[in-house]
Every structure is written in C-alpha cells, then in structure tokens.
Chains A and B, each alone.
Chain A
Amino acid sequence: MSNLSYIKNLTKLGPEEIQVIVQKIHDLAKDGEYVIMEFCGTHTREISRYGIRSILPKNLELKSGPGCPVCVTADEDIDYLIGIAEKYDLGVITFGDLVNVPGSNGSLNHLRAKGKEVKVVYSPLESIRIALQNPQKNYVMVGIGFETTVPSLAYTIKKIVELGVENLFYLSLHKLTPPAMKALLDAGEIKLDGIIGPGHVSTIVGIKRWQEYLKNYKIPFVIMGFEPEDVLYGIYFLMKKIKNGEYGVFSTYTRSVSSEGNVFAQNLVDEVFDVSDSVWRGLGVIPKSGLELKPKYSHLDARKKFALDEPVKVRKTACRCGEVLRGVLKPYECPLFAKVCTPTNPKGPCMVSSEGTCAAYYLYENS
C-alpha cells in the first residue's frame, strides 16, 4: 500500500493499514525533532484515549492547545456568575462541565449544595422551558462554547425574544478559536512545526476563515476528524507537509469540512452576536475573540442587568492550567497534578472538563 490518498472512509481502516500509517509517520520523523499542537480538546481527549502517543516516534511531540471552552473560561467570569447567582437569587442554567469548575469561592456544584438552583441541560432550549415553568424566578443561561455551540444558543436567544420570556437572561462566555490560534502563534512562546486543526469548529467556520487568519504564518495547519484513524492519517499527512516545507490550511476531514463552512449557522450567529474582546484563562485578553449580544438583544444581557457591589477579586491558586493551555507545561509537570488535583477533586478546569488536557492525561495516560 504505497499510496494512501485513495482512502475515503478512514474509520474503516483495519489494524494492518493502521500499522502502515504509523510506520510511515516513523519514517517521516526519523531525522530531527518535531512538535505538533492539537488545538482542540476533543482531539486531546481522543489522542489520550486511544494511546496514540505511545505508538508515535519519541521525537514527534504532540502538545495540547487551548481548545476546551470550559478550560479557557476566566476565573473572573466564574466568580461573577456565582456572585450574581447568590446576590440576585438567580437560577443558573448551564452545560455539564461548568458546574465542577472551581472559582475563588467554590463551584456551581457548591452553590447547588447550598440550596441555589443550578440546572444542567444538554439543549439550551431547555432553559426556556425551565424559565416558563417558574415565572416568579429569574434565570441566567450561561452561554459557553466555541463556534460549534454558538448557533444553537443564537437560536435559543431568538426564541427567548419570540416567546417573550421575561425571566431568562444570558451570560455570554463564548470564545472564537481562530483569533486564539493566532494569538498563540504571535506569542511565540512555543516552537511549533505543525498544527492539528479542529474538526467540529472548522465544519462551522469553513477552511476559508482559517486561511484569513493564518495567511501570514509559514506553518502547515491540517484539519482532522476525531476517530483515532482520522488522527493517525492526519498526522501522517501533516508530517508530509512539514517535511516538504509546505504551509497553509489543509483538511483531511473532507467528509465534514468545506471551504465556506456552515453558512446558515454563521448567519444565525451574526444575527444575534457582535464580536468582542474576551479574556481567556492563560492567554489573557485576546482582541475580537469573544461574542456579545447585539444591542437589539442587550435587554437579555446578564452583565448589563446584574452588577456586583464590588469588582470580582480572583483568588490566586497553585493551579497552572494557564500554562497547560498555552502548551508551555505538560499536565504532569504541574505540582498539583494527580496529587491534590484529580477529576474527583479538581483544582482547575483542565482537570474538570472531559476535553481538558489534565483530565485526558489523568484518565488515559496515568499508567
């Protein structure tokens, strides 16, 4: 099997074909040291879950990036959320992982244990049902997630207005991935030879968006699917680009990613949100990397409606999630990792989220 380019359905690869790909990666990497970063938390998890590091050459390092929405949520945002929930007796509606993220004074889980209402939903539309069933109580829906999650939340916001729901507000903690990728490259803190591009985000934003952001960088960026076969084939493809000195945006996730992306979803988001600056854990303020509600929807904006008496003062901890998110520190290099910080008792968000780098290392590579 000399040419792998005919492979259409990568997930149907058998063990022998996998071995061929792995061997080709070894051949390509045999001279030199290579560092590749996977931006996306789902890639991070699947790479750990399938023990992919264990079959790659030692001189090819996979670094994990900041692609986990819960992980990059800033401490001040968590503290603000818990603060307004307590002060205004708001019910908090959120996606799962966030409830375990420790803030300066405990997590949403602690808030719930203290008797406050904290609801975990899978679909943001559930927030409307919850608010309508309890008209005497005010709720805040926490909008968290990258470009993949935003469209369903934009739809929810339109529905809130359409149905005239008056007791449901919105806290946008959304983050945009291409500006963060660019910020990471600009910081120059780590040397990267190639990047594993996120599959789901790219399905929404399309190849073009990445090309706009990365046009001045001489680095190959390959968008991949999430099955272990996708990842191995993608790494092989990326290594070829690195070796040939080719750069630009490529995709091996052709069954899902197009040049334009999901235009319907993009328009839906543009209708509801404006691009804003945003604070990322570990990366600080990144210009134009967040989303805020358009003026038309600002009456739903929790930040405008609920103020704290004093600005949030974030308590410093020994957690080093910030460095892990920038790829500067490996999870096991953090003094808390697997000692005081575990998925059962997490000290930082990277150990909480199923897409967090520390959780992935702890659960799957901690042998």
Chain B
Amino acid sequence: MKLQDLRTPISVGLAIVLLVLPLVCNAYWLDVCVSIGLYALLALSLNVILGQAGIFHMGHAAFFAVGAYTTAVLNTLYHWPVLWTMPLAGVAAALFAMAVARPIIHLRGDYLLIVTIGIVEIVRIALLNDVAGLTGGSNGIFGIARPTLFGFRISKGVQFYYLVWCMVGVSLLLFRCLWQSRFGRALNYIKEDDIAAEGCGVNVTRYKLAAFVLGAFWAGMAGTVYAAKMTTIAPESFNFMESVIIFAVVILSGGSQLGVLISAFLFIGLPELLREFHDARMLIFGFAMMAMMVWRPQGLLPPLRRRYRVAENSSSQGVSPKDVWNDSAVSE
C-alpha cells in the first residue's frame, strides 16, 4: 500500500485526533501542539513559495519576526487589541517582503537562497540593535496582552490550541483553492521551467513576487499569534535556525499540504518524544531525517495532480463528462 493511497484516511484521522487531543493530553503536550500548529502555519505559507513555485527561500523567520514585532509594538505602545493587529502584521510583513524580494527575485536557486539567509540575519541584528527605539534590543518586548475574540479572552493553552489550529484549517482550504487555479498553475510552470513559462505569457517576475508577498503575509499573521501566545518576544526567537526548520518541514513534506502537516508533527513533535534519550535525542532525530531522505527523496507526500472536468461530447467517442484523474478523492 502506497502512502499516496492513504491520504483520505490520514486526513480524516488527523482531523479527529486534532479535535479531541485537548481532552486527553496534559498542558505540556498541548503546548507542544500549539507550537506544531504555528510551525504548520509557517510551513504552509512557505510551501506556496518553496513547494509550489520552487523558489529557494530560507528567510521565512524574517517575515515571521516582522509580524510578531508589529503586533508587539502596536499592542504595548499604542494599546491596539492583539487580534486587530493581525491584518496589519500581515501587511507589514508583506510590504517588507515586497521591498526585499523585488531586487533579488530574478536570482536563481542557490544564489537566492544565500540572499534570503542574509535577510534573516539582517532582521535579527536590526532587532537586537533596537530599531527606531521600538524593538527593545536583546530583551525584546514584553507585556503583550492576551487576545480577545468577541469579548472572550484567550489565555489558556487549550484556547490557543483551537485558535492556531482553526487558522491552520482555514489556511489549508484557501491554499488548496489557490493551488487549483490559474495562480497555482502559474507557480508550477515557473517551478518546472521559468523561461518556457515566460514564453507562454506568464509574467514570471510578478508571480514570483506575488508568491513571496502572500507567503510573507501569512507568516506575519502567524507572528501575531506567536506574540500573543508568548506575551514576550525577543530577537533570538527569529534566528536562522528557525528559518532552516521551516524550510526543512516543507522539503520533507514533499510539497502537498497534508505532507506539510505530517512533516510539522515529525519535526517538532519527534524531538519532544525523544526527550528521555537526553543528549542522544538530536542524534537520533538527525539519523531519522537522513533515513527519510534516503528512503523518500521526493518527500513524504508529493502533491496530487489537479482534477479537471472535461466534456468529451464533441470528440468522436461521445463520452459524458468524466473526471480527468482516477486518483482517489482529493484530500489535499
């Protein structure tokens, strides 16, 4: 039985487990699951850039940081309610992405990768140096308020759990629609062959930039949730290693959204499960990753093919409309 054939049972099982998890697990594991949800959110947004468009971007933590700091500043200095800052955190990250990506978007593969690594470092060091006297240097910003939703104050772990995973659910739906559209196809054409894509009439620069801006917008919103959850943020939470983990989650996933979720669980959950091995745990984790890349170099779950309804009535066979793909129900 191939992993691809198990998509539907895996998705259904995962959804049920996620719904009932807060009933059975303790505060510690709930916290781990909130963290997994945040990484899933970040990885889903990076998947648009890296998985769909094939742009090697290893600086996603920078956009995450811009979002988190936007929320922190607006909340602590100007007393905006936390959730109200979410769209603005997204917009700030998106604008930042547009400004830094525009001059480098034409770079290819490994060159772009190096520049994006530079972006994370620039952001981290800028935050450390207390940009405009707003970011609080190495201490960061503390005292961020808890979010309220329709007068309901979100402060407990379980409430954050549902907030984060609801956002993951909505993102899954929206990104799936995006994938099954002109926009998603354009990103795939660019990934396959950008010169051919441009030659067919796809505005390659514009779509690459759009992928960046959209991914950054989502990372910025994830930053709001992170700031609200932690109530304290500091530059060291947005270092290069965070970028690498988000990047690795997407690479391991194979590019499908279900793959991203499973991969986020493995990446964040596994090191926690291995805690009893103390010092050896990162070693075991490293070996598991290596085995994975040997066993499945294409990643856990590559995306399915898109489905199209094609009317064949005008062809000689005169068959009624049928599905293009014989794959099992699309769960991704």
A, B co-complexed: no
